[in-house]
Amino acid sequence: MFRNYVVIAFRNLWKHKLFSVINVVGLASGIMVCLLALIDIKGAFDYGNFHPHPERTYRILTDVTGNDNQTTAFATTPLPLADVLKREYGFVDQATRVIRDYAEFTVDRKILQESYCAVDPAFFTVLGYKLASGQPATEPNTAVLTPETAEKFFGLSNPIGKVIHHKELGEITVTGVFQPLPIRSHLRFSLVLSMSTLSTPDRKQQQTDWRQYAVGYTYVRLKEGTSVESFEKALPTIAARNTKDLRFKSEKGYTFRAQSMTTLSPSHEDLAMGTWEQTWGKLATEMGVGLVTLLLAVFNYVNLTLARSLSRAREVGIRKVSGAVRWQLMAQFMAESVVLSVLALGVAYLLLLLIEPMPFVQQWLIGGVELNGTMWAVFVGFSIAAGLLAGFVPARVLSGFRPAQVLRSQTGLKVFKGITLRKSLIVAQFSIALIAMIALLSMARQQNYMATADYGFRSENVLNIPLNDVPYQRLANELNRIPGVERVSATSELFGGHGGDWRPVRQQYSGGDSTRAFVFAVDQNFVANMDLTLLAGQNLPEMATDTNGEGSLGRFVLVNEEAVKAFRLGNPREMVGKPLWLGNTEVTIAGVLKDFRFTTFNWAIKPLVLSYQPRQFRYVNVKIASGAEASALADIQRIWKRLNPYDPFVGQWYNDFLYQRHSHEDDIDFMSLLTGLAFSIACLGLLGMVTYTTETRIKEVGIRKVMGAEVRQIIWLLSWDFVKLLLIAGAIAIPLGYLAGMAFLINFAYHVSIGFETLGGCIGLLLGLGGLTIGVRTYRAALSNPADSLRSE
């Protein structure tokens, strides 16, 4: 019997090819989004599978209680904790610490900023990151590189035994290279240093200070047979014993607890100083988006199947007269929906392969996850469940037709007494799609605004060149000789990014009046090159540096208006000549600059200090005359090749830098895909609704045409009810979409507004797509021959 159901299902699907294709594509779109979410959920449980003995390995968390009695969970701990656990508790097999940070490393005159972890020797055995060659980094000033970092630093040559340089840590010898790191890992780094390499006074002080709980991570592996309860009981005792004599500034204290590596991902809580593990909230959001998309597709299946109900009514009547009971008819219709859903699964997989290369999909959803037999079983089970869900309502309705009614005549046959439910589904579909589109367009406009806005400094015809250890003055002298080059300046960071060195600046050396400010190192040409405006005072003076590379130039700084407000030193003119302390160095304010936006638009303008520190220069800014860009660029590349033949030229126009930094095209493309799917599914649902209504009113159309109605009048008659649904959807979606867009934009100190250009454009697209869908179907109905529809009663 089941075989007959399947055969009949395929026959019906083949007979109604258009409806079958529409249903398959609609369900495939929804299933594809759900598959993406299922893959990411599966990947979330794969985190840490490569760690040896995860069942008895734990990460220690710190629960910090503030003065307001609010508790915040940190993934980090004080660094002395690991030594105490290993020294005083016999059930601890091994313990290791991990410190994450970013730093600049110099290799063969190349300056590269990389993420690194400083670790204890036990790191390699406790967490199980395997080496492809060489030895672990256990001695002072040693490091192990990832394969990608090794190639970036040393090309294809063997990196073991070679040296990388760090301005504070000195020379670091490479002792090994990791195997390719697991993609699904809660720790991500470019290289690993031995903990003993961090030998600066500040770093040594951190390793004994119980007050600093946000520095590093502590991992512990227990001995076999150890009771977890005894370990968990010991942690609060350790915290109480080592903090009883400590005084905190804004905390009452803290305690420790253990987090098993088997439950690290998905995480049940958001941890301060967290790592890269997945969270249940993110997974639930992804699955929610997938289910909503699938639900829209299910609505379509219901609408399209019921639209075909008139053509299936006689079939139901004949089957019932022949002795079929209702459950058999329901089984037949459910089998059709399941077959359709399984076909949709195949199409969904093809769509998945099509979008898999998208960077966003690779980075967040698919990367590192293998589709094994279990995953395919889940996919098939999910598609069958989706088919049963989609087919239940049509099967219930169609199997309920009465034979006497459907065999006598189909005239007046109604699937529902009213179609309010189906109209509501159409309104819901288009409302959801329109809300998503308004939010997406708001995001896209904000990203474009950040990428192309006027930041208040010059970005036109300015070429940024990373120095990569090329002497700045030598390069500047060469560049100034090139025809078309108007001015050359230097800076430590590029404006328009995420800021420079965010550090405390004081008015007095020992005072408690420090204010945090962004500190950039620039030269005396920078202000003119960037078209910055001096409100008071003068530019950095032009003087030669001394043998230390600082000179008197390093004793003068420029600040912005926001810094004047932060230090409460009056107006800009009163600020000039006042002293400030940058760390242990006293400087004098030479001038005050007009405020401009030098960081991301997430933040309001912050205090800014520009100082002359030649050792920190990392970029050259070359201002080129209009019309001379091509010739000047060719000359610059030739000079670069002569001065630095080992590094490729990676100069970038300032406008291109701002656009790439803020446009986030990959994310917008992926969200556009989801929004496009939602609108496509909604239009398919509208098509089903229009098809159903025109078929039930076909005799009415025939009569009206016989009575002299014109085609345009009939089109308007059939379309108006659907246009009203679109307008209702628009009325619902506009305020909700506005709120959704503002929920995103409110995160930015400077953002676009949501006005007619956003709302009007989305409504126009809604009416355009919906009107096209309605118009095509009603136009065909209006052109039908009245003789065909009125031939029989």
In the chain, what are the domain boundaries?
1-45+278-412, 54-263, 421-453+663-793, 462-662
Spatial distance between the Cα atoms of 760 and 106, rounded to a whole number of angstroms: 53
DSSP annotation string for 23-73: HHHHHHHHHHHHHHHHHHHHHHTTTTTTSSSGGGEEEEEEEEEETTS-EEE
The answer to whether the peptide bond before residue 266 is cis (omega within 30 degrees of 0) is yes
Spatial distance between the Cα atoms of 559 and 217, rounded to a whole number of angstroms: 38
Q: At what angle do helices 326-355 and 2-15 cross, to 10 degrees?
A: 60
Residue 342, by phi and psi: left (phi above 0), alpha (psi -120 to 50) or beta? alpha
Q: State the residue for tokens 């390995």.
A: 57
Express each pLDDT in 470-502 by its tens digit.
888 999 999 999 999 999 999 988 998 776 777
Edge-to-edge strand order for the sheet containing 619-624? 485-491, 619-624, 462-466, 652-653
Looking at this protein, which amino acid is placed at residue 28?
A
Q: Which two tokens stand for residue 59?
A: 């990460």
Could you tell me if 527 and 569 are in contact, meaning their C-beta atoms sit under 8 angstroms apart?
Answer: no
Is the pLDDT assigned to residue 788 strictly greater than 70? no
Q: To 5 degrees, how large is the angle CA 624–CA 627–CA 633?
A: 50
Express each pLDDT in 112-121 by its tens digit.
778 999 999 9
pLDDT (0 to 100) of residue 545: 46
Spatial distance between the Cα atoms of 737 and 439, rounded to a whole number of angstroms: 6
Spatial distance between the Cα atoms of 27 and 340, rounded to a whole number of angstroms: 8
Closest residue by Cα to residue 94 from 266, 220, 186: 220
pLDDT (0 to 100) of residue 308: 62
Greater pLDDT, 466 or 14: 466
Please count the CA atoms within 13 angstroms of the CA of 126 that sit on its side-chain side: 25
pLDDT (0 to 100) of residue 552: 44
Express each pLDDT in 653-674 by its tens digit.
999 999 888 877 777 777 777 7
Provide φ and ψ at 465, rounded to 5°.
-125, 120
Tell me the pLDDT of the chain averaged across its residues.
Answer: 83
Which of the residue ranges 408-412, 421-425, 527-531, 603-607 would you say has the lowest mean pLDDT? Answer: 408-412
Express each pLDDT in 267-316 by its tens digit.
888 888 888 888 887 788 778 877 877 877 777 777 667 666 556 666 77
CA 490 to chain centre: 33
pLDDT (0 to 100) of residue 744: 87
Looking at this protein, which amino acid is placed at residue 109?
R
Express each pLDDT in 237-268 by its tens digit.
999 999 888 877 778 889 999 999 988 888 88
Spatial distance between the Cα atoms of 659 and 347, rounded to a whole number of angstroms: 36
Query: Where is mean pLDDT largest: 32-41, 149-158, 298-307, 418-427?
Result: 149-158
Spatial distance between the Cα atoms of 478 and 9, rounded to a whole number of angstroms: 78
Spatial distance between the Cα atoms of 778 and 624, rounded to a whole number of angstroms: 60
pLDDT (0 to 100) of residue 364: 62
- Confidence at 547, pLDDT banded by 50, 70, 90: very low
Could you tell me if 58 and 219 are in contact, meaning their C-beta atoms sit under 8 angstroms apart?
Answer: yes
Greater pLDDT, 622 or 716: 622
What is the reported pTM?
0.70
Q: Which two tokens stand for residue 457?
A: 């400094």
Spatial distance between the Cα atoms of 673 and 680, rounded to a whole number of angstroms: 10
Q: At what angle do helices 326-355 and 309-321 cross, to 10 degrees?
A: 140
pLDDT (0 to 100) of residue 553: 46
- For residue 168, give the DSSP letter: T
Query: Which residues, 6+ apart, have CB-to-CB distance to 169 below 8 Å?
Result: 141, 193, 197, 198, 199, 200
Spatial distance between the Cα atoms of 288 and 37, rounded to a whole number of angstroms: 9
Give the sign of the dihedral formed by CA 564, CA 570, CA 575, CA 581.
negative
Express each pLDDT in 740-759 by its tens digit.
889 889 988 889 999 888 88
pLDDT (0 to 100) of residue 546: 42
Express each pLDDT in 181-239 by its tens digit.
888 889 999 999 999 999 888 788 888 889 889 889 999 999 998 888 889 999 999 99
Is the pLDDT assigned to residue 443 strictly greater than 70? yes
Is the pLDDT assigned to residue 696 strictly greater than 80? no
Spatial distance between the Cα atoms of 431 and 440, rounded to a whole number of angstroms: 14
Q: To 5 degrees, how large is the angle CA 238–CA 243–CA 245?
A: 135
Spatial distance between the Cα atoms of 265 and 188, rounded to a whole number of angstroms: 15
pLDDT (0 to 100) of residue 416: 45
Spatial distance between the Cα atoms of 143 and 138, rounded to a whole number of angstroms: 8
Percent of residues, the chain, with pLDDT higher than 70: 90
Could you tell me if 178 and 147 are in contact, meaning their C-beta atoms sit under 8 angstroms apart?
Answer: yes
Q: State the residue for tokens 């599966």.
A: 42
pLDDT (0 to 100) of residue 419: 47
Provide φ and ψ at 536, rounded to 5°.
-155, 155
Express each pLDDT in 762-771 by its tens digit.
888 888 888 8
Q: What counts of helices (H) and strands (E) characterise the chain? A: 25, 22
pLDDT (0 to 100) of residue 405: 56
Looking at this protein, which amino acid is placed at residue 719?
S
Percent of residues, the chain, with pLDDT higher than 90: 29
Express each pLDDT in 95-150 by its tens digit.
999 999 888 888 876 777 789 999 999 999 999 999 999 999 999 999 999 999 99
Express each pLDDT in 606-640 by its tens digit.
899 999 988 888 899 999 999 999 999 999 999 99
Provide φ and ψ at 48, rounded to 5°.
80, 5
DSSP annotation string for 571-637: SHHHHTT-EEEETTEEEEEEEEEPP---S-TTS----EEEE--GGG--EEEEEE-TT-HHHHHHHHH
How are beta strands 170-178 and 163-166 bridged, if at all? antiparallel
Is the pLDDT assigned to residue 426 strictly greater than 90? no
- Average pLDDT over every residue of 709-722: 83
- Average pLDDT over every residue of 343-352: 88
pLDDT (0 to 100) of residue 787: 67
Provide φ and ψ at 508, rounded to 5°.
-130, 150
Please count the CA atoms within 13 angstroms of the CA of 365 that sit on its side-chain side: 23
With 0-12 CB in 10 A as exposed, 13-18 as middle and 19+ as buried, what is 479?
buried
Looking at this protein, which amino acid is placed at residue 17?
K
Q: To 5 degrees, how large is the angle CA 179–CA 182–CA 185?
A: 135
For 195, other C-beta atoms within 10 Å of its C-beta total 25
Helices (H), 644-664: 654-663
